[in-house]
Chains A and B, each alone.
Chain A
Amino acid sequence: MARLELNDLRKTFGRGEDSVEAVSDLSLSVSDGELLVLVGPSGCGKSTTLNCIAGLDSVTDGTIRIGGDPVNERRPEERDIAMVFQNYALYPHMTAAENLEFGLKMTTGLTAAERRERVESTAELLDIDRLLDQKPKSLSGGQKQRVALGRAIIRDPSVFLMDEPLSNLDASLRSTMRTEIQQLQEDLDVTTVYVTHDQTEAMTMADRIAVMRGGTLQQVGEPLECYYRPQNRFVAEFIGEPAMNMVQVTRRGDRFVADGFEYPVPKRADHLSSGNSFTLGIRPGAIDVVEPQTGAATGTVGVVEPLGETSHAHVDIADTTLTITTDGPGTVERGDVVGVDFPPQRVHVFDVDTGVAVARRDGLPGDPVESNLNTQVD
């Protein structure tokens, strides 16, 4: 039960000219019992951060505190953490039970009987009690994953660290395990840092998400906050599937204009100066199909990808393509000429050069502020 804090964490690899900064000035805090998901593309520094917290990598600069105590100088087993790895990292020559027991054996003074008891109760919790005598080789992917989780749980740590624990599983098992880990984390109420490159995992599991890129933190917030109020273009594009559409526009008077595209400037973007260029971001799900020539733009439907309940349609407008999510099959067909439109609160405006969001909406859908705003603009 502990709060995890990172203050100006910095990690560089190598020395002198060849040194690479993997994590730069990262400050984060994870409150007691919270599940924070560190998400970002590969090489963004999320795993390095996790290794620093675990004590597997030394810290170049900054402080890591667990439960208020700085742990920089502590060895991994003294940090009261446990970790789950991407490829399970089960000891191949030990049975599942021995795998669970090993950490206890090395770090605690428990007797064999006490350890056995802990192993059994943990195994029961994870429903692997019948697998205890088997070696990893004879376990399925999901079973290995459970044993790996058990190895972490049995230590009863104050902080769980999970490094892409689900990426070796196939798709159906992944979503089951996702729910299970989430449930487990809630039940155990242990502070957890979960690293993944999969934004779906991040969205569905996290209490809060921390998006990283190139070693720097882009945004921390609740999943929906990151989804609806991204702080910059990177977060906007990284979160959400399919990715957000981006359109280069110029403000002319009270309109954002581009080739074949015209949209009234939302009220919250009023302060942006006319004549400047911006990047507009619109999520595929926010776009409505309307009669041609009536919406923000008109274009021709290209490829349509049916998904059952919904379809993704790609609409060519001048030299850009917008992806839109439509209802079920048959809403639009390839070759249709359609208009597209979207509500003003779903428009994101980014600075063309820095990618910083320049006119973020004030609240999330359903907030009183937000509904207020809606009626005003519409």
Chain B
Amino acid sequence: MTVMLTMTSDAAIDDPSSGSGIRRTVGTYVDSVVSRPLFWLLPALLFITVFQLYPVFEVFRMSLTDMSLITSEESYVWLENYRRLLGSERFYSTLRVTGLYSIASIILQIGLGLGLALAIDYGVRRGLRGPLFTRVVVLSAWIVPGIIIGLVWKIMLLETNVGVVNNALGRLGFGIVPFLSDAQIAVVSVITAGAWRGTAFSMIMFYAGLKRVPDELYRAAKIDGAGPLARFRYVTLPQLKSVVFVVTILVTIYSLNSFDLIFALTNGGPGRATEVIALSMYKSAFNSYEMGMAAATAVVLLMVTLVVTAVYFRLFDISEEI
């Protein structure tokens, strides 16, 4: 011990003179800079301001102008764009398609996602083979770039012999099904492709939620005489409540704003049968060059998203969870 103490007595005691004094001033300066939260947050806040905050204001401003991609002149037309939008048949058609697509997507993706998550969780708890493989396969579908998912399903659903689904149906004696050229069936096709992609997300969120349900709760419920269904109803579901909330919100936001998959699969066709709001917005900006009009559509899309989210916050009483 004594050895240790003598060994260090000179090194440990602070020498306020010369070199270490300079080091200390620099050190104190660095210290005072890095003790301000702004130092740490500034880059992130800067990026958010430029690429998120400002564009949100700008899209509102743009929607009040007659901005165009071809001329650099612009003037304020105030609510003219909105008046035109709300007066057009096309707008209501896209609204209807978006609504239909979103509702179907939410139901399908949450239902399938929850079912798969339960099956995988059950398999893991029981030590069955296959849950990992299934999980990986489903997640892989989510990883595939949206534009390519559109392409894959286009190939799958081709209305010739090349389309495997029609080919198989043909062999079973059915005629060609117009998966992409019939207005109503095309919507179903788009929804299916959407579910193919989106289910993984809700599955993995639910799975994470299920993993967090403590085993003791299930054991306690078993001792209290709850069967599998009762355990699901009274243990699992209440524990998943906040996950269900988050997943519903995110899937909704996602479906309402769907773009790339539909862009590649049907490009809104046949006619406007599968044209969602985002698609029509993009087309009016980059095909018709009407930026002002497109901005108004974007604003409406944002409003729809916000209103629906607000409704969810009302419906779910999650005050105690957040």
Contact = CB atoms under 8 A, between A and B. Distances in A.
B interface secondary structure, majority: helix
Contact of A75 (B3, B9, B28): B28
B12 interface: yes
B289 to A, nearest CB: 54
B4 A78 contact: no
A188 interface: yes
Contacts of A188: 1, 5
Contacts of A122: 4
Given A75-B28, A75-B31, A118 B7 contact: yes
A109 B12 CA distance: 10
B13 interface: yes
Contact of A157 (B1, B3, B12): B12
A369 interface: no
A187 B4 CA distance: 12
Interface string A337-371: 00000000000000000000000000000000000
Contact of A109 (B1, B11, B28): B11
A101 interface: no
A300 B3 CA distance: 63
A109 B23 CA distance: 13
A156 interface: yes
A125 interface: yes
Interface in A153-201: 155-157, 187-188
Given A78-B24, A118-B7, A187 B14 contact: no
A125 B3 CA distance: 12
Interface in A99-128: 108-110, 118, 121-122, 125
A5 interface: no
A155 B1 contact: no
Interface in B1-21: 1, 3-5, 7-9, 11-14
A98 interface: no
Interface residues of B, number: 15
Given A75-B27, A78-B24, A125 B11 contact: no
B32 to A, nearest CB: 11
A109 B19 CA distance: 13
Interface in A66-94: 74-75, 78, 80
A156 B5 contact: yes
B14 A156 contact: no
Contacts of A78: 14, 24
A110 B8 CA distance: 10
B56 to A, nearest CB: 33
A355 B5 CA distance: 46
Contact of B4 (A74, A80, A118): A118
Contacts of A74: 14
Given A187-B1, A188-B1, A155 B7 contact: no
B13 A80 contact: yes
A156 B28 contact: no
A80 B11 contact: no
Interface string A45-84: 0000000000000000000000000000011001010000
Contacts of A125: 1, 4
Contacts of B13: 80
A156 B4 contact: yes
A229 B115 CA distance: 69
A156 B27 contact: no
Nearest to A154: B4
B12 A108 contact: yes
Contact of A110 (B4, B11, B27, B28): B11
Interface in B24-51: 24, 27-28, 31
B17 to A, nearest CB: 14
B24 A156 contact: no
Contacts of B5: 156, 188
A155 B11 CA distance: 10
A188 B8 CA distance: 13
A190 to B, nearest CB: 9
Contacts of A110: 11
B20 to A, nearest CB: 9
Nearest to A73: B28
Contacts of A121: 3-4
B2 to A, nearest CB: 10
A157 B28 CA distance: 21
Contacts of B28: 75
B3 A156 contact: no
Given A78-B14, A125-B1, A156 B9 contact: yes
Contacts of B12: 80, 108, 155-157
A155 B9 CA distance: 10
Contact of A108 (B4, B11, B27, B31): B11
A157 B9 CA distance: 9
Interface string B284-309: 00000000000000000000000000
Contacts of B9: 156
Nearest to B31: A75
Contacts of A155: 12
Interface in B77-115: none
Given A156-B8, A156-B9, A80 B14 contact: yes
Contacts of B24: 78
B51 to A, nearest CB: 34
Nearest to A79: B14
A207 B293 CA distance: 81
Contacts of A187: 1
A80 B15 CA distance: 11
8 contacts: A74-B14, A75-B27, A75-B31, A78-B14, A125-B1, A125-B4, A156-B7, A188-B1
Given A110-B11, A156-B12, A188-B1, 6 more contacts: A75-B31, A118-B8, A156-B5, A156-B7, A157-B12, A188-B5
Q: Which 5 A-B pairs have the closest CB atoms?
A: A156-B8, A108-B11, A78-B14, A156-B12, A187-B1
